[in-house]
C-alpha cells in the first residue's frame, strides 16, 4: 500500500493499462479480501497524502468492493443460483484447455498461465479473459467464475460473481462486455502483445458476438445488521477467526476477552477438490498473521489449523475448550456463510451458542447497494466524508 500510494494520483489515467510489473495499480485485493487491510484504512491513507479530487477514481474502485458485497447480501439467491450451476455444470475438454492456457489465442493463454502461476490478473485482463471465455469460447460463465475464485488470491466472492455476471450481460440488462482486439491494442503493453500474436484474428472487433444469458429474477432482502448489542456473556468464550476478516482486534470484538481462539482455514470450500496451491499458501500465511495478532491482542493463544470439514472441526474445538459461546465476525454471503446454519445448530445441540457480529460501518454502507453503483456512490457521500 505504501509503495502504491506514491503514485495513486496517476491511477485514474493509468489504471486501465496493463504494464510490466503492474505498478500502475494497487494489487491490494488479496489484503482487502482477507481484511488484513480494511477498505477505510486504504482510503484514509490515500487521503493523508492527496486531496479527494486527485484520488476519487481510486476511492471509487475501493468502494466498488463494498457495493458488490452489499448488493449480494441483499440478493443471496444470486449466490445460490450460481453455486447450484457450478455443481450441475460439467467441465468440457475445451473448458479445461482454455483454463490451462491452451486455447490457441496466445495473449489469452498468457493471461490464463499468469493466473495459474501467480494468483493475480490485472482487472482489465480479467475482463478480457472472462469475455473471451463467455462470448468467444461460448463457455458457461459460472465455470469461469468458479475458476477465478479457486485461483485469484484476491478472489472476493461478491466482486468476482457480479463482475462475471456483468460481462455475461446479467447484472445490467442489455449491457455486456465484449473482448475486442482494438481494446487490447490500446491498453496492453505493445511489447507484451507483440510476443503473443497467435490467434488474434479470433478477437477482431467484427467477429466477437454477444452470447446471451438469462436467469430468474432475484428478490431483494434487507441487509441484516445483526444485534446492535451482541450478547457476548458466557462462562467460557471462544473466538473463531476466519479468512474473510482477519482483523477482529479492530472491530466490535476488540474488547472481547476470550478463553480460547481458533483460526481455521477451510480446504475445498470453493467447491473444487483440487484448488490452487498458490492461493492456499497465501491464505495460510494470512491466517497465520491474523492468528499472531489475535494472540497478542486478546492475550490467549490462537490455534491455527486446516480442515475439509469446517463445521465438525469448530464444534470439536468448542467442546474440547469447554466453551459456552463461540464468537466471530459475520462472514459475507458466500460458501462460509452457507455453513452457518449447520454450525449454529450443531453448537446449540451441545449447549453452545454462536454469536456473529457485523461491523457497523459495513452495514451502514451495504444498505445503500440497492441499485446501480453511481447511485450508491451519491447516497454514501456522508459516510465517505466521515472516514
In DSSP notation, 53-85 reads GGSHHHHHHHHHHHHHHHHHHT-HHHHHHHHHH
For 20, the grid coordinates are: 510490466
Is the pLDDT at 173 greater than 90? The verdict is: no
Q: In the prediction, which pLDDT does 355 show?
A: 95
Does residue 305 surpass a pLDDT of 80? yes
Q: Average pLDDT, stretch 369-374?
A: 91
Mean pLDDT of 4-22: 93
Distance CA 217, CA 53 (A): 38
Tens digits of residue pLDDT in 57-106:
999 999 999 999 999 999 999 999 999 999 999 999 999 999 999 999 99
Residues forming a β-bridge with 306: 265
Alpha carbon dihedral 223, 229, 232, 234, in 10-degree steps, equals -130
Whether the predicted pLDDT of 311 surpasses 50: yes
Output the CA–CA distances (angstroms, integers) from residue 296 to 82, 148, 257, 290, 307, in the order listed: 39, 34, 12, 10, 24
The sign of the CA dihedral 284, 146, 172, 181 is: positive
Average pLDDT over residues 318-323: 98
pLDDT of residue 231: 74
3-state secondary structure 131-151: HHHHHHCCCCHHHHHHHHHHH
Lowest model confidence (mean pLDDT) among 224-233, 235-244, 299-308, 353-362: 224-233
Any idea where the domains of the chain sit in the sequence?
A: 1-74+363-387, 90-219, 237-357
Torsion over CA: 56, 59, 64, 70 (sign):
negative
Q: Which three cell numbers stand for residue 1?
A: 500500500
Residue 272's pLDDT is: 45
pLDDT > 90: percent of the chain? 82
CB atoms within 10 A of CB 284: 14
pLDDT band of residue 386 (cuts 50, 70, 90) is confident
CB within 8 A of 293, min separation 6: which ones? 246, 247, 249
Q: Which residues pair with 327 in a beta bridge?
A: 239, 355
Residue 168 vs residue 220, higher pLDDT: 168
Which CA distances in Å does 42 have to 26, 47, 54, 71, 163?
10, 9, 15, 21, 22
CB distance 237 to 325 below 8 Å: yes
Ranking 18-22, 105-109, 245-249 by mean pLDDT, the lowest is 18-22
Q: What is the percent of the chain with per-residue pLDDT over 70, rounded to a whole number?
A: 94
Inter-residue contact 148 to 160 (CB < 8 Å): yes
Q: Which residue has the cell 461478491?
A: 158
pLDDT beyond 60 at 227: no
Q: What is the pLDDT of residue 209?
A: 85
Long-range contacts of 313-318 (CB under 8 A, 24+ apart): 313/264, 314/240, 314/262, 314/264, 314/343, 314/347, 315/343, 315/346, 315/347, 315/350, 315/352, 317/238, 317/260, 317/262, 317/264, 318/238, 318/347, 318/350, 318/352
Centroid of chain to Cα 137: 25
Q: What is d(CA 50, CA 78) in angstroms, rounded to the nearest whole number?
A: 38
Q: What is the pLDDT of residue 182?
A: 96
Q: Report the alpha-carbon distance of residue 315 to residue 111 in Å, rounded.
A: 41
Q: 237-357: which CATH topology?
A: Rossmann fold (3.40.50)
Mean pLDDT of the chain: 92
Distance CA(40)–CA(387), nearest Å, equals 7
Query: Nine-digit cell at 97?
Result: 484447455
φ/ψ of residue 162, rounded to 5: -75, -30
Distance CA 163, CA 373 (A): 13
pLDDT at 385: 85
pLDDT of res. 210? 77
pLDDT of 343 = 97
pLDDT at 175 over 90: no
pLDDT tens track for 110-165 = 999 999 999 999 999 999 999 999 999 999 999 999 999 999 999 999 999 999 99
3-state class (DSSP) for residue 15: coil
CA distance 109 to 100: 8
- The whole-number pLDDT of residue 206 equals 79
> For residue 261, what are the β-bridge partners?
239, 302
Residue 233 scores a pLDDT above 80:
no
Q: With residue 237 as reference, give the H or E element that holds it.
A: strand 237-241
pLDDT at 212: 76
pLDDT of residue 320: 98
Predicted confidence at residue 216, as pLDDT, reads 67
Q: Determine contact, residues 218/77, Cβ cutoff 8 Å.
A: yes
pLDDT of residue 224: 55
How many CB atoms lie under 10 A from the CB of residue 25?
21
Cell of 124: 482489465
Provide the 3-class DSSP secondary structure of residue 171: coil
CATH fold label, 90-219: DNA Cyclobutane Dipyrimidine Photolyase, subunit A; domain 3 (1.10.579)
* pLDDT at residue number 208: 86
What does the pLDDT average to over 363-383?
92
Residue 228 is predicted with a pLDDT of: 52
How much is the pLDDT for 273? Answer: 40
pLDDT tens sequence across 44-57: 999 999 998 999 99
For residues 197-226, give the mean pLDDT.
Answer: 77
> Using CA atoms, how far apart are residues 164 and 198, in angstroms rounded to an integer?
25
Q: Could you tell me which residue, 224 or 121, shows the higher pLDDT?
A: 121
> Lowest-confidence range among 20-34, 163-177, 346-360?
163-177
CA distance 125 to 139: 18
Amino acid at each position: 500500500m505504501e509503495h502504491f500510494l506514491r503514485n495513486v494520483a496517476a491511477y485514474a489515467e493509468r489504471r486501465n493499462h496493463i504494464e510490466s510489473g503492474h505498478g500502475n495499480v494497487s494489487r491490494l485485493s488479496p489484503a482487502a479480501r482477507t481484511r488484513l487491510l480494511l477498505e477505510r484504512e486504504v482510503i484514509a491513507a490515500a487521503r493523508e497524502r492527496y486531496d479527494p479530487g486527485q484520488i476519487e477514481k481510486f476511492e471509487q474502485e475501493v468502494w466498488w468492493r463494498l457495493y458488490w458485497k452489499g448488493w449480494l447480501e441483499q440478493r443471496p439467491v444470486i449466490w445460490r443460483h450460481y453455486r447450484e450451476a457450478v455443481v450441475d455444470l460439467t467441465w468440457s475438454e475445451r473448458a479445461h484447455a482454455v483454463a490451462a492456457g491452451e486455447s490457441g489465442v496466445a495473449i489469452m493463454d498468457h493471461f490464463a498461465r499468469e493466473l495459474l502461476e501467480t494468483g493475480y490478473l490485472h482487472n482489465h485482463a480479467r475482463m478480457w479473459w472472462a469475455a473471451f471465455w463467455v462470448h468467444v469460447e461460448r463457455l458457461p460463465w459460472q465455470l469461469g467464475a468458479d475458476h477465478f475464485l479457486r485461483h485469484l488470491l484476491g478472489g472476493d466472492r461478491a466482486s468476482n460473481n457480479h463482475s462475471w455476471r456483468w460481462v455475461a450481460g446479467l447484472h445490467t440488462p442489455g449491457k455486456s462486455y465484449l473482448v475486442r482486439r482494438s481494446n487490447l491494442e490500446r491498453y496492453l503493453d505493445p511489447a507484451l502483445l507483440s510476443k503473443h500474436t497467435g490467434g488474434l484474428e479470433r478477437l477482431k472487433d467484427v467477429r466477437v458476438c454477444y452470447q446471451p444469458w438469462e436467469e430468474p429474477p432475484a428478490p431483494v432482502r434487507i441487509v441484516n445488521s445483526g444485534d446492535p448489542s451482541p450478547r457476548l456473556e458466557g462462562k467460557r468464550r471462544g473466538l473463531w477467526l476466519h479468512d474473510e476478516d482477519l482483523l477482529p482486534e479492530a472491530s466490535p470484538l476488540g474488547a472481547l476477552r476470550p478463553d480460547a481462539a481458533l483460526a481455521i482455514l477451510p480446504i475445498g470450500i470453493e467447491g473444487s477438490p483440487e484448488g490452487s496451491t498458490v492461493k492456499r499458501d497465501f491464505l495460510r500465511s494470512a491466517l497465520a498473521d491474523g492468528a499472531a495478532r489475535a494472540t497478542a491482542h486478546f492475550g490467549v493463544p490462537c490455534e491455527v489449523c486446516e480442515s475439509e470439514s469446517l463445521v465438525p472441526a469448530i464444534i470439536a474445538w468448542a467442546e474440547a475448550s469447554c466453551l459456552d459461546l463461540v464468537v466471530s465476525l459475520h462472514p459475507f454471503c458466500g460458501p462460509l456463510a452457507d455453513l452457518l446454519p449447520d454450525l449454529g445448530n450443531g453448537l446449540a445441540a451441545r449447549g453452545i451458542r454462536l454469536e456473529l457480529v457485523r461491523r457497523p460501518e459495513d452495514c451502514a454502507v451495504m444498505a445503500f447497494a440497492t441499485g446501480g453503483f453511481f447511485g450508491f456512490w451519491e447516497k454514501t457521500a456522508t459516510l465517505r466524508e466521515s472516514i
